[in-house]
Structure 1
Amino acid sequence: MATAEERVPSAARDMRAHAAAFVARVTRNRLPLDYSVASLRVVDFLIDGLRKGGADPERARGPLVGLGAYVGEVLVRRAGAVWVDFDADQRAYFGQTAGVRMPDGRVWNPLGKVHNRFATGGTEDSLQTFYLTLHGRARRVVA
């Protein structure tokens, strides 16, 4: 029998599965999304391609959510983060229902970071740079 926690819908609980489904779809095209830090450069490239292809934010919504879930899962696997449901204040601030909590307790919004990269297209919003300059990472690689 499911516990009360398992019966309550959880955006955080769904993110790992969402990332895996997204990777399964896009790796059929031989894109190197292997949850490595280096693969975040591919994420930057994919987002830039959506922008250059003229995708409007609504049409790009599905791929951007998939990419955001993927970035979050890289943080989980490589930086020691855990998926968390945002509380009401965090949802209002971030505009998302879930994010990640780092080992030092900091909370980050990978879906929002992906949306920012799409909106600005600027190198200052690079997802690879985001990871490399991220505060609160674990020093060890999490498999």
Structure 2
Amino acid sequence: MSDVGEQLMHAEEMRARAADFVGQATAGNRLPLDYSEASLRLVDFLIDGLRKHGADEARVSGVLAGLGAYVGEVLVRRAGATWIDFDADQRAYFVQPVGVRMPDGRVWSPLGKVRNCFEAGSRRESLRTFYLTLHGRSRRSRGGPGLSPMPPS
């Protein structure tokens, strides 16, 4: 399992992980990580920066996990998703311990989507495009990755 899975993440701690990441990433910087859909362009840019500087995935594993938590929290706040702990089949499929369930029941892995973006580059795997084309979003945004969808269990 990936480094993220080895950290034994649980759904109930993902909001706090995202907030911790935002706090660390914005300390002393003016990064607009405001949980908006538009902020996902910045996440794409940050991941591209890691790739362009030749960062090894193992070395930036914690940053990728933080970005995945942030992306998932954007889905929770803006698309009506809910953090969930994956069951055994979902963990095997997504190779991640947690993900989000959309209002229509579809399940996605924002942590996996961030890793895919890092591996392929945002020209091929944009997180903002992922959000904009995401199936299962609620029609009404709530104010305040994955890989392919998996049917609800």
Corresponding residue of 1:46 = 46
**Structure of higher CA gyration radius:** 1
Distance 1:133 1:70 in 2: 18
Query: By how many angstroms is 1:103 displaced?
Result: 0.1
Q: Is 1:101 matched with 2:101? A: yes
Query: By how many angstroms is 1:123 displaced?
Result: 1.6
Q: Is 1:132 matched with 2:115? A: no
Corresponding residue of 1:11 = 10
Bigger helix fraction: 1
Identity among equivalent positions (%) equals 71
Alignment of 1:20-99 (within 5 A): 20-28=19-27, 29-99=29-99
- TM-score (normalizing by structure 1): 0.92
Distance 1:114 1:26 in 2: 16
The amino acid that maps onto 2:12 is R
For the aligned residue pairs, the C-alpha RMSD in angstroms reads: 1.1
Distance 2:122 2:82 in 1: 27
- For structure 1, the residue ranges without an aligned partner over 5 or more in a row are 1-8
- For structure 2, the residue ranges without an aligned partner over 5 or more in a row are 1-7, 144-153
Query: Matched residue of 2:55: which SS?
Result: coil
Distance 2:45 2:127 in 1: 10
Query: By how many angstroms is 1:55 displaced?
Result: 0.6
The 8 Å contact of residues 48 and 122 in structure 2, kept in 1 or not, is answered as no
The amino acid that maps onto 2:117 is R
Query: By how many angstroms is 1:124 displaced?
Result: 2.7
Distance 2:93 2:18 in 1: 23
Distance 1:69 1:59 in 2: 18
Distance 2:51 2:9 in 1: 30
Query: Matched residue of 2:58: which SS?
Result: helix
Distance 1:126 1:115 in 2: 11
Query: By how many angstroms is 1:122 displaced?
Result: 4.3
